[in-house]
Amino acid sequence: MSTLKATWHHIRRSPFQSLTAIFVMVSSFFILSTFAVLSRGLSSVLAYFETKPEVTIFLKDGLDKNTVESLQKELANYSSVREIKFISKQKALEIYQEQNKDNPLLTEMVTASILPASFEVSVSDPTVLSQIAQNFSAKTDSIDEIIYQQDIVQNMLNWTNIIRKTGLAIAVVSALVSFFVIFIIIGMKITNRQQEIQVSRLLGASKYYVKKSFLLEGLIYGALGSFLGSSFSFSLTFYFRNQINTFFQPIEFVSTQINFYLLILLSLSIFGLMVGYLASWFGVKRYIKY
């Protein structure tokens, strides 16, 4: 009798225990996969804000060229200023049109005259940002508004860290729950099959012979649970990707690259196999004494 056949026999003889093991693994890996997607999305949001200019200074309408140039020079005098980009009203319109190219109604109604010109300033030392923001906000005659990106990035970073840590904690708890459920179910199955194990040992079966079908059973729960859980999570994510990405526009929160999902699926399947194998290994070590 092949090991696979013996394992299938064990699964068939106690289907509810097997279904419980698989259900717990599917649930755990659904949560794990969802957090992997969420984590990747949060990284995209962070990366988006980090690559944006860290201070945007909107200018009042009707400033002459000299005033704009003197403001630019003043900005350039700050140490650690990496880049100063002047966005004219016309350029602002182009950006607006590009961002809303799918919605002609919005682009038709907007002209360059209603959009403000601005400076986008990025720095290498974030501490300079507060000085720039403070000094320029005092220039009420020429400055309309200052958007201080550092606050947004810091807030995002804090939230991302909280969500990642929560995700990691849930992942660890899920993996532990899966481990113990498989451990207990394999233990119950071994207890139910004590007579078969004892007789097999008397007939000359090695310890490994009686253990291997239970080890394979744990591997099957791990592989099947992780694959189904992750696949279910990714299918849902992929199905709703357009709605999610539209909500986070212009950030691509949900990846549309199939390789990303395949890589995560492979990694989680290997992790699932490891959880299943380790749980059943501890189970047979604990319960098979002959």
Partner 1 sequence: MRINFKNVDKNFGLIDALKNISFDIGSGDFVFLFGPSGSGKSTIIKLILSQLQPSAGQIKIGSYDLTTASKKDIDALRKKIGIIFQDYQLINDKSLEENIALNMDIAGFPSQEIPSKIDEVIKKVNLSSRRLLYPSQLSGGELQRAALARALSTDPKIILADEPTGNLDQKNSWNLVNLLKDINQKQHCTVLMATHDVEIVKSMGKKVIYLQEGRIVKNLKLN
Q: Site residues (CB under 8 A) for partner 1?
A: 1-2, 9, 13, 195-196, 199-207, 209
Cα distance between residue 148 and residue 233, in whole Å: 37
Q: Residue 202: which residues within 8 A CB-CB, separation 6 or more?
A: none
Is the Cβ of residue 109 or residue 203 nearer to partner 1 in the bound state? 203
Q: Please work out, in degrees rounded to the nearest 5, the angle formed at the alpha carbon of residue 215 by the alpha carbons of 214 and 217.
A: 60
Is the Cβ of residue 56 or residue 211 nearer to partner 1 in the bound state? 211
Structural tokens at position 289: 């004494």
| 3-state secondary structure at position 100 | coil
Tell the smallest beta-carbon distance from residue 10 to partner 1 (Å). 10
Tell the smallest beta-carbon distance from residue 215 to partner 1 (Å). 17
Tell the smallest beta-carbon distance from residue 256 to partner 1 (Å). 48
Tell the smallest beta-carbon distance from residue 237 to partner 1 (Å). 42
Cα distance between residue 135 and residue 53, in whole Å: 18
Instruction: Give φ, ψ of 147 to 5 degrees.
Output: -105, 120
Q: Residue 67: which residues within 8 A CB-CB, separation 6 or more?
A: 142
Cα distance between residue 24 and residue 198, in whole Å: 30
Closest residue by Cα to residue 51 from 187, 237, 251, 216: 251
Tell the smallest beta-carbon distance from residue 212 to partner 1 (Å). 12
CA dihedral 221→223→225→227, nearest 10 degrees, is -160
Is the Cβ of residue 90 or residue 206 nearer to partner 1 in the bound state? 206
Length of the chain: 290
The alpha-helical segments, DSSP class H, found in 82-148 are 89-99, 104-109, 127-137
Is the Cβ of residue 153 or residue 205 nearer to partner 1 in the bound state? 205
For tokens 């729950």, name the residue. 177
Tell the smallest beta-carbon distance from residue 8 to partner 1 (Å). 12
Q: Side chain identity at 53, as an amino acid letter?
A: P
Cα distance between residue 213 and residue 3, in whole Å: 5
Tell the smallest beta-carbon distance from residue 2 to partner 1 (Å). 7
| 3-state secondary structure at position 240 | coil
Is the Cβ of residue 1 or residue 105 nearer to partner 1 in the bound state? 1
Is the Cβ of residue 165 or residue 207 nearer to partner 1 in the bound state? 207
Is the Cβ of residue 10 or residue 35 nearer to partner 1 in the bound state? 10
Tell the smallest beta-carbon distance from residue 288 to partner 1 (Å). 14
Is the Cβ of residue 82 or residue 285 nearer to partner 1 in the bound state? 285
